């Protein structure tokens, strides 16, 4: 059975809501407990000046969430989501492969309690969600 246009629209709205929730939650969690996130960043990449990274990543996540709210900025939000999810998925894959040794999870909030394989599954799911939304955005322009 093929989904109706009504069902497709609700699926698209749900997908946007999930992405907005993800980026808002992880970004705000990292900003609220920024000292812990900064420590994890320092552990990971031995940054001399971790503050710009520990503030920049969560701000980008929150900016991404806000850009997904409004129709005019959704395309930007989707590309930012694609960039962030691809980067985080690559990072998690490298952690699982043992590239970093024992690495701390710097995801923020309750998500940091998950194991690395669960992280990878969630990241791949959200990556597919972003690709689906980009596809629907592209195909909606083609329709008369």
Burial class of residue 7, CB neighbours in 10 A (0-12, 13-18, 19+): exposed
How far apart CA 57 and CA 61 sit, in angstroms, is 6
How far apart CA 3 and CA 7 sit, in angstroms, is 6
- Condensed to tens digits (0 to 9), the pLDDT of residues 104-135 reads 776 666 777 788 899 999 999 999 999 999 99
Domain residue ranges of the chain, discontinuous segments joined by +: 5-139
DSSP code, position 33: T
Task: For residue 124, give the nearest of 91, 100, 80, 76 by alpha carbon.
Answer: 91
Q: Phi and psi at residue 107, in whole multiples of 5°?
A: -75, -35
How far apart CA 2 and CA 124 sit, in angstroms, is 25
- Condensed to tens digits (0 to 9), the pLDDT of residues 20-76 reads 999 999 999 999 999 988 888 887 777 677 888 999 999 999 999 999 999 999 999
- Give the pLDDT mean for 89-118: 82
pLDDT at 144: 47
Task: For residue 108, give the nearest of 31, 56, 20 by alpha carbon.
Answer: 31
3-state DSSP assignment of residue 42: helix
What size, in residues, is the chain? 144
pTM, entire model: 0.87
How far apart CA 76 and CA 36 sit, in angstroms, is 29
């Amino acid at each position: 059975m093929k989904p109706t246009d009504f069902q497709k629209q609700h699926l698209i709205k749900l997908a946007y809501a999930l992405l907005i929730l993800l980026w808002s939650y992880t970004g705000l969690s990292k900003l609220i407990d920024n000292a812990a996130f900064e420590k994890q960043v320092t552990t990971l990449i031995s940054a001399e000046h971790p503050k710009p990274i520990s503030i920049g990543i969560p701000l980008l996540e929150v900016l991404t969430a806000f850009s997904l709210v409004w129709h005019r900025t959704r395309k930007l939000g989707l590309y930012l989501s694609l960039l962030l999810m691809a980067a985080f998925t690559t990072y998690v894959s490298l952690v699982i492969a043992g590239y970093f040794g024992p690495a701390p999870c710097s995801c923020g909030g309750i998500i940091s309690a998950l194991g690395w394989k669960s992280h990878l599954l969630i990241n791949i799911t959200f990556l597919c969600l972003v690709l689906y939304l980009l596809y629907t955005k592209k195909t909606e322009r083609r329709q008369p």
